[in-house]
Amino acid sequence: MLLIEDDRRVAEVVAHTLRPFGHAVVSHGSHRAAVVAIADASFDLAILDIALPDGTGLDLCRMFRAQGLVFPILMLTARSGVAERVAGLDAGADDYLGKPFAPAELAARVRALGRRGPRWTESVRAFGDLRLDRDRRIVSRNDARIPLTPREFEVVALLAWRDGRVVSKDEVLEIVWGEVTDGAAASLEVVIARLRRKLDDRKTPSFIRTVRQVGYAWEPLRSKHA
């Protein structure tokens, strides 16, 4: 596992927390060291601090994805607002953890990332006549753009790039809304209903499948790589 964190105390906590779970932690404290490390070895997971002395973890995340590296990426940040989460998702991160964090939560999030398996790294995916462009933040059907709000697009991107795996309601709320509250949960239900009206047609089942008492999954059977 690759850890890029310039705060030595935080790096020690991460390593001490994860080594009992079988993770061999390779730790560096700079953007430059990360570039060298990724060229010299392969990793099954990366934890990146956003604020580095010679760059950002977001830049590293973009670079890793541009190179086709598919391991899960967890971002560490002292700022965990919605804007930061969206920036991380756009860069290719899989999850966020705000500082300070509880070691037990760090271990749980790393275990969850390990269960997800490989992630899709392509920026465009096609589902029948429906086309999703993550970089341009555009969804279209037969080349006609479907107008989505920023939050609707974030939900679609989160579900579609999980390739059919169930995403819990709490995870959607954490990543897209930045909070798990009754108000946010009610808003999520409204967004899902709007997305179904905008994305679905009468010929096929809904792209968004509800898993009762758990969350949602993107129907993968019609998926074709763009």
Domains, the chain, in order of start with CATH, read 2-116 (3.40.50.2300), 124-225 (1.10.10.10)
For the residues 147-171, what does the mean pLDDT come to? 84
Q: What was the pLDDT predicted at 223?
A: 41
Q: Are 189 and 172 in contact (CB under 8 A)?
A: no
Please state, in angstroms and rounded to a whole number, the distance separating the CA atoms of residues 69 and 38: 10
Please state, in angstroms and rounded to a whole number, the distance separating the CA atoms of residues 180 and 173: 6
For the residues 99-107, what does the mean pLDDT come to? 91
Give the chain's mean pLDDT: 84
Residue 122 pLDDT exceeds 70: no
Give the confidence band of 115 by pLDDT, cuts at 50, 70, 90: low
Instruction: Look at 19 and 174; give whichever has higher pLDDT.
Output: 19
Over residues 169-205, the pLDDT tens digits come to 888 887 788 788 899 899 999 999 999 999 887 666 6
